[in-house]
Structure 1
Amino acid sequence: MTAITAPSTGTRDGLLRFAMRLDAVLVGITGIPFVAAAGWLSSVTGVPVAVEYALGVFFLAYGVVVYWLAAVDNVRPGAIATITANALFTVGFVGAEVAGIWPLTGWGVALLLGGAAYTAVIGSVQYLGLRRLP
């Protein structure tokens, strides 16, 4: 009698891969205005222009890398890195607002706390997907 094993992809990793791809697309798209309109965003949010540019470039790169990581055969290491990045950004966004390191406007506070909420939720969904892996 031969044992039949489940394929390593497609059976229990669907939620994780979907959440990673969704995160990659949403964050990557978000990077475009951060780069293209950093000056305007800075005036609206109170976040320095250099930080807006840096975040935009990071978001664009993150989108490409995480989308690629979602497609590799062994998704676990990339998923752990992505979940960790989301957790760090959650803490970082909240910490930046609480510490008052920039003279944020109301929109700036909303942007940081909204970003923290997004990264907390998407990271949680990714974590649930990771837990489903064999």
Structure 2
Amino acid sequence: MRVSEQIPATATATSDALLRFVLKADAVVTGVNGIAYLVLAGVLTDVLGYPVSVQRWVGAFLTVFAIGVGVIATRPVVSRAAVRVLIAVNVVWVLLSVVVLGTGAVEATTLGQVWMAAQAAVVAAFAAIQAYALKPR
């Protein structure tokens, strides 16, 4: 990895600490969500209305994604390129959530729709804070 693709030594400690904090928070929230979809799929179907198969696929993706985010967050040097990829994936998640909500592509109860919108808002916040913390100061 090139030095220019890493957080530069001149970046403030606050910026690095914020980036690591938001990455770790993203990993934990995403991991808990993914594991919940995997383990509680039957129960959540009754509450959220999402089909079990959708929950399992989404749960598997979120769990793997969370592990990746956690690894990136705990590396000795945070890769700027890897964080950009994470931000892009988060933005795609938000856009897909909006499309799914708008089209009704996935069955959902009213609570399920609210939950989907809330997840998208949290993911958008993670992406925005990650982008802010990534900027050199």
Is the shorter-chain TM-score for this pair beyond 0.5, marking a shared fold? Answer: yes
Q: Distance in 2 between matches of 1:7 and 1:101?
A: 46
User: 2:37 aligned with 1:34, yes or no?
Assistant: yes
User: 2:51 aligned with 1:48, yes or no?
Assistant: yes
Counterpart position of 2:3: none
Q: Distance in 2 between matches of 1:50 and 1:81?
A: 27
Correspondent of 1:21 among 24, 39, 42? 24
TM-score, length of structure 2 as denominator length: 0.84
Counterpart position of 2:105: 101
Structure 1 residue runs of 4 or more that deviate by more than 2 Å after TM superposition: 6-12
Counterpart position of 1:127: 131
State the secondary structure of the residue aligned to 1:118: helix
* Contact 1:70/1:78 (<8 A) preserved: no
Correspondent of 1:86 among 78, 90, 93? 90
Larger radius of gyration: 1
Closer/same/farther in 2, CA of residues 90 and 71 from structure 1, 3 Å limit: same
TM-score, length of structure 1 as denominator length: 0.86
State the secondary structure of the residue aligned to 2:50: coil
Task: Could you tell me which runs of 5 or more consecutive residues in structure 2 were left unpaired when the two chains were aligned.
Answer: 1-7
Question: Could you give the per-residue CA deviations for residues 69-96 of structure 1, whole angstroms, max 9, x where no partner exists?
Answer: 1233242011101111110111111110
Counterpart position of 1:64: 67
Task: Could you tell me which runs of 5 or more consecutive residues in structure 1 were left unpaired when the two chains were aligned.
Answer: 1-5
User: Larger helix proportion, structure 1 or 2?
Assistant: 2
* Contact 1:35/1:57 (<8 A) preserved: yes
Q: Distance in 2 between matches of 1:61 and 1:77?
A: 19
Question: Could you give the per-residue CA deviations for residues 1-43 of structure 1, whole angstroms, max 9, x where no partner exists?
Answer: xxxxx83677242211111111001111111211111112122
Give RMSD over aligned pairs: 1.8
* Contact 1:34/1:41 (<8 A) preserved: yes
Counterpart position of 1:3: none
Cα offset for 1:48?
1.3
